[in-house]
Structure 1
Amino acid sequence: MKRENVFLNLDLSDLSAQPGALHIDNKIILIDNLDDVADEENANSLSFANYPMKLSFTIGLIVLSGGMKVKINLEDFEARAGDAIVVFKGNIGEFCSLLPDTRMVVIAFSDELFNVVKHINTALSIQQYIYTNPVFHLDEEFLDEALDIYKKMKAKMTETNNIFLEGILHGYAQVLMYSAYNYFVQRKKNTDNSLECNRNQEIYKLFMQSVQKNYMHERSITYYAGVLCISPKYLSQVIKNVTGRLASEWIADYVILEAKALLKSNKYTVQQVCDMLNFANQSFFGKYFKRKTGVSPKAYIKS
């Protein structure tokens, strides 16, 4: 059965159309409500994804006051003053509610610009850390640094006659991303002193790429080990060592996320979702879904 798109895509062009948004060729977008009156209407003006949307870019939000509830990949999170939220391209985000006094800044990067930091030795480990911890508290020093860079970028955006504007903004963006990566390295060192990029990191990267491509029809660790030309036991050990989670858990994350989206779309029956995700029968799908979520597919639809 051919699957229709469940989520609408949120593109940089959609974001740049938001009130007060500043951008440079839809590669860097800045939005904030720092100068607005603190009320519910102005807080909600930044709520640009009021239903689940798949991002075609990487976005970072810093909450300066108030707070909000969001869903990232259909999981609930709450952010308060001093917290940051990072959502990578391809993930699913949704604003659920914002407090009336919420003040925040938003920075979105195109994939082209975000890729400048992917060569960093620790990039994979940092991205995996952020993927599992998309909402986190910033210490005062880094919060001030990030906000200072944001304000400088915002000020430069108004210099329309500056022939080097794009290069300057790209430079500021790189400073911000490198500073952020350094912050995460130091943060992660508190819990894990091993951030070396090695063969295990490469296996993890290739495994995740393969899962993202094939999870709709393959859930077997043996399959993914075969793609990488290694044994299932070795793949399991590597993924556990790199991420602290089982390979099967990463596969299940994608399967369950897709299943939840399909079920909540109200477009398909449980049997149709079962077929789309290549389960042998509805009974097996129901048991798999309940084991991972604690509820049956039908109960999830009603929740």
Structure 2
Amino acid sequence: MNRKIRLFEVNVAQAKHVCPEGKYIDNDLILFEDITKVPLPTTPSRMKSLFLALCTSGNAQYTVDTKLHKVSTGDVIIISEEQVVGDYMLSDDCKGIALIMSYDFFQNILSGIHELSALFLFARTHPVFHLEKTQTTALENDLQHIKNKIMDTGHRFRRELIITMLKALIIDMSNVIYHFQQIGEAEQTRAEVIFRDFIQCVERNYRTERRVSWYAQQLCITSKYLSETIRSVSRRTPSEWIDSYVTRELRVMLRNSTMSIKQIAEELNFANQSFLGKYFKEHVGMNPSQFRKS
């Protein structure tokens, strides 16, 4: 008998409930100055957010999708949405800073910046990066500035300012990931290469193409093989990845442009406004007009 495995889920709302002293913005972002205060579940758990941490002293280890990873001073840890984490062990002298952010918030930060999504997705299979001393210091300073702005609740543009600061931080981190990727490119598996190429192809074409078969054709493989490979690497289907890019762009356009819904439908190659409305409601839970007013 097949039984669906239910795992504890880690997200910002849950982290706020367990550890209210964290510095947070709504249910989108929470920052912990002391990594030992992060509410780490005692059993394997599925991430429903993005986790980013910097180890400033000591060492630790944990598993991601059952694979063991070891962390020491100067290492950055990135755990992505849907990955299963567990088996935490922190040394007595382990210190660090950690961020948990909702995936929608993360995607909003990345909106409009070419290649960053693909670089961060590389971290799914390479979730630990080592920084040089100067890079570690710069990241610590960035996180401290972000913490200060999170606490500045009287700032009229607090949220927008923090998004801008996080965008700069993520660009710097993506640069580190890029160089790490170049060094380790020869060690990538065939599946990892296909995943990387697929995401890059989606980033270039999602505004006009949403068919899995089209992407498979561009990569010179079958749709079945593409689907099996993407799911094995990312725990998501190709359609889910394509839809995530399309819905992110729809959200941004609805919130940040004066284009009519009909014009947005034409821009993103929907057959008509009605079809866009059904698509958006299916993936976001409300129609475009409700989202624009919310």
Structure 2 length normalisation: TM-score?
0.63
Cα 1:251–1:174 change in 2 (3 A) is closer
Give per-residue Cα distances to partners, 1:86-129, cap 9 Å, x unaligned.
01111112252111111010012222221132543323541342
Following superposition, the deviation at residue 21 of structure 1 comes to: 0.7
Cα 1:134–1:164 change in 2 (3 A) is same
Unmatched 5+ stretches in structure 2: 187-193, 203-210, 236-294
Q: Would the aligned equivalents of 1:22 and 1:31 in 2 still touch at CA under 8 Å?
A: yes
Give per-residue Cα distances to partners, 1:165-209, cap 9 Å, x unaligned.
21221121111111111222233234459xxxxxx878623999x
> Which of 199, 205, 226 is residue 205 of structure 1 equivalent to?
199
Cα 1:203–1:135 change in 2 (3 A) is closer
Counterpart CA distance in 1 for 2:120 and 2:197 is 15
Cα 1:95–1:19 change in 2 (3 A) is farther
Q: Would the aligned equivalents of 2:15 and 2:38 in 1 still touch at CA under 8 Å?
A: no
Counterpart CA distance in 2 for 1:128 and 1:150 is 21
Following superposition, the deviation at residue 130 of structure 1 comes to: 1.0
Cα 1:253–1:132 change in 2 (3 A) is closer
Counterpart CA distance in 2 for 1:72 and 1:171 is 29
Counterpart CA distance in 2 for 1:229 and 1:137 is 34
> Which of 156, 174, 177 is residue 170 of structure 2 equivalent to?
177
Q: Would the aligned equivalents of 1:32 and 1:106 in 2 still touch at CA under 8 Å?
A: yes
Identity of aligned residues (%): 15
Counterpart CA distance in 2 for 1:51 and 1:64 is 25
- Matched with 1:78 is 70
Q: Would the aligned equivalents of 2:120 and 2:174 in 1 still touch at CA under 8 Å?
A: no
Q: How many equivalent residue pairs?
A: 216
One-letter code of the match for 2:52?
Answer: G
Q: Would the aligned equivalents of 2:77 and 2:129 in 1 still touch at CA under 8 Å?
A: yes
- Matched with 2:145 is 152
Pair 1:27-2:13 in alignment: no
One-letter code of the match for 1:234?
Answer: C
Q: Would the aligned equivalents of 2:195 and 2:233 in 1 still touch at CA under 8 Å?
A: no
Counterpart CA distance in 1 for 2:27 and 2:220 is 43
Structure 1 length normalisation: TM-score?
0.61
- Matched with 2:57 is 65
Secondary structure of 1:133 counterpart = coil
Give per-residue Cα distances to partners, 1:52-106, cap 9 Å, x unaligned.
1111111101111111111111111110111111011111122521111110100
